[in-house]
Structure 1
Amino acid sequence: MLSRFLTPLSIGLLRFMALLPYGLVARLGDALGWLLYQVPSSRKRIVHINLKLCFPEWDEAQRERVAGQHFRHAIRSYVERSVQWFGSARTLDKIVIVDSEIDLEDPDLPPTILLGFHFVAIELASISINRALKRRCGSLYQPLSNKALDEVAVEARARFDAEMVPKSFSARAVIRMLRDRQPVMLGADMDYGPRNSAFVPFFGVPACTLTSTARLAATAPAQVLPFIGEVLPNYKGYRLKVFAPWKDYPTGDDVADARRMNAFLEEQVRTMPEQYYWVHKRFKTRPPGEQGFY
């Protein structure tokens, strides 16, 4: 019953905040994140568990510092949905720097899987790479449990000509789009359970990792183009970083390909550990017989 009132109120607030200067919205989100970090919560606990697992060499002071920074980034990312979902193309142009190792406007771009990673700026990065390619892209998404909010999110994410595809209907749709030379965005660095997954190391910890990216790339066939979003310091906006396509991928060995993906992600996380999505239970699914962390 409460959500019937809170959902439209939240959406209305986001629409209103999209009219405010980006710097002000970013500062408000940062302040809210700092405030919420002072309160004990399950998400705060998850962040600390993940950081302790992935960075055992850090002392408590460093983990506490990065955890606090991350919480501020995570909460800020939700507040900045206002700009990301409802901001104009002109506004986005002002706050996004595109740094690409390839020509994104190449008319001869081969079938391409756009592999995104869950840094706090993934929402903006996905919208921005769609715009930078200047062509219709497919985008796989996990539907939100709140149907009213999910409808708004899908509409907002699709407004720059993205074709939104629920993950439950993904395989055939992805193959169809790739064979039509339509780039497809997807993320594979979350714990989606043991189906179509393998346990491979992520910062030395066995992590349930999807193997479907390599199989889709082999079936299409398609190149895999990794991209990440970075929040710039001093409330200056974002950087969309697009890397060169992976060479010799896939190999036909699902486990080896999943290891490569996680190794690549580790390299990127080390450059800005406070911005990876540590509030997610990355190690929720454990190998048979192994005790859970959370």
Structure 2
Amino acid sequence: MALSRISLLTRILKLAGKLPLNIAQGLGSFIGLLLWWFPTRSRHATEINLGIAYPDLPAPERQRLARKSLKQTGQTIMEIPLMWEWPVERCLDLVREVEGEELLTRSREDSKGLILLAPHLGNWELAGLYFSSRYKMAALYSPPHWPEFEDYMIRVRGRLGSELVRGDRRGLARLITLLREGGVAGILPDQSPRGKTNAYAPFFGMEVRTMTLVAKLLQKSGAAVLLTYAERLPNAKGFRIVIRECEPGMADSDPVVAATALNASVEQAVLAIPEQYQWEYKRMRHRPPGEVNPYKPGRIC
């Protein structure tokens, strides 16, 4: 049963991967509107997250932002098959401009490794393809819920030789080695991590569990760190790759200081294009013990 389900899913992805960008984005916007029109979990989480992040924004404006965000999320959903099934050159042709190239050049001058933080902002799949086309790169990933789907995901994401590394102890060791050799590691920094070794730090004013992985990698490898995202341009015109400096303190030995700097770096990027952030992700669900789960007010963390 599972294999037939995976076969059907990959066929759907391959079929969707034949669409042009404007049609895919149009369908994605419609999917986002459906998520908005009906009482979906995506709308529920989006409204809660925006209420936390923008408490002073008038309710009608927050509602408009939530609607825009879900439309952008729908576009991201429909763009993924394109990034996985289009020829790589066609995907890279969607990059119309690069902002912050000088930061990238400066970070590579001494040949030390580089950590690229790519939050759930814009089209992170295209950002990964863009940088793997230029550097020896490894990207941290979490295995999908369907193990049979993992082979397909690794193959399409690794078309340019990018190495996909599981987020476990062995994967951490591999990233450290790669960074010490001057390679590039890509990490999604705004996940809600599991485990007790992570820290609690503010994200849009709320204390949430935050990964300490980035701090450990920086401390053990001596690598540089930058933040990047692929901003979606209007009217299916393509994307802008944006590279930004991070807030200081991300390599601090105090895990709370490091995690605070990590979250602040993501915040600054999100504030630039808030409608393109994946607000429907339950980033705030892991809070300090005794605090209320904002998505389930009757549940204590």
Q: Could you state the TM-score of these two structures normalised by the residue count of structure 1?
A: 0.91
1:1-80 aligned at under 5 Å gives the runs 1=1, 4-80=3-79
Give the secondary structure class of the aligned counterpart of 1:80.
helix
TM-superposed CA distance for 1:109, in Å, is 3.1
Q: Which residue of 1 aligns with 2:130?
A: 128
Q: Contact 2:141–2:164 at 8 Å: present in 1 too?
A: yes
Question: 2:163 aligned with 1:163, yes or no?
Answer: yes
From 112, 131, 142, give the equivalent of 1:110: 112
Question: 2:188 aligned with 1:187, yes or no?
Answer: yes
TM-superposed CA distance for 1:252, in Å, is 2.4
Cα pair distance change 1:109/1:246, threshold 3 Å: farther
Q: Matched residues in 2 for 1:37 and 1:143: separation?
A: 29
Amino acid paired to 2:120:
H
TM-superposed CA distance for 1:67, in Å, is 1.1
Give the secondary structure class of the aligned counterpart of 1:286.
coil
Between stretches 159-168 and 32-41, larger displacement belongs to: 32-41
Q: Matched residues in 2 for 1:43 and 1:248: separation?
A: 33
Q: Which residue of 2 aligns with 1:93?
A: 92
Q: Contact 1:101–1:243 at 8 Å: present in 2 too?
A: no
Q: Matched residues in 2 for 1:33 and 1:5: separation?
A: 28
TM-superposed CA distance for 1:46, in Å, is 0.8
Q: Matched residues in 1 for 2:59 and 2:249: separation?
A: 40
TM-superposed CA distance for 1:209, in Å, is 0.9
Cα pair distance change 1:238/1:6, threshold 3 Å: farther
Between stretches 115-124 and 205-214, larger displacement belongs to: 115-124
TM-superposed CA distance for 1:244, in Å, is 4.3
Amino acid paired to 2:171:
S
Question: 2:143 aligned with 1:149, yes or no?
Answer: no
Q: Which residue of 2 aligns with 1:241?
A: 242
Amino acid paired to 1:113:
I
Give the secondary structure class of the aligned counterpart of 1:287.
coil
Q: Which residue of 1 aligns with 2:277?
A: 276
Q: Matched residues in 1 for 2:246 and 2:284: separation?
A: 28
Unaligned stretches of 5+ residues in structure 2: 296-301
Cα pair distance change 1:33/1:249, threshold 3 Å: closer
Q: Could you state the TM-score of these two structures normalised by the residue count of structure 2?
A: 0.89
Q: Contact 1:224–1:246 at 8 Å: present in 2 too?
A: no
Deviation sequence 1:125-163 (CA, Å, 0-9, x none): 1221222xx232011101110223332111111111101
Amino acid paired to 2:33:
W
Q: Which residue of 1 aligns with 2:222?
A: 221
Cα pair distance change 1:107/1:163, threshold 3 Å: farther
Deviation sequence 1:89-124 (CA, Å, 0-9, x none): 221132113322335595753111112212141122
Q: Matched residues in 1 for 2:94 and 2:217: separation?
A: 33
- Percent identity, aligned pairs only, is 28
Unaligned stretches of 5+ residues in structure 1: none
Q: Which residue of 1 aligns with 2:258?
A: 257
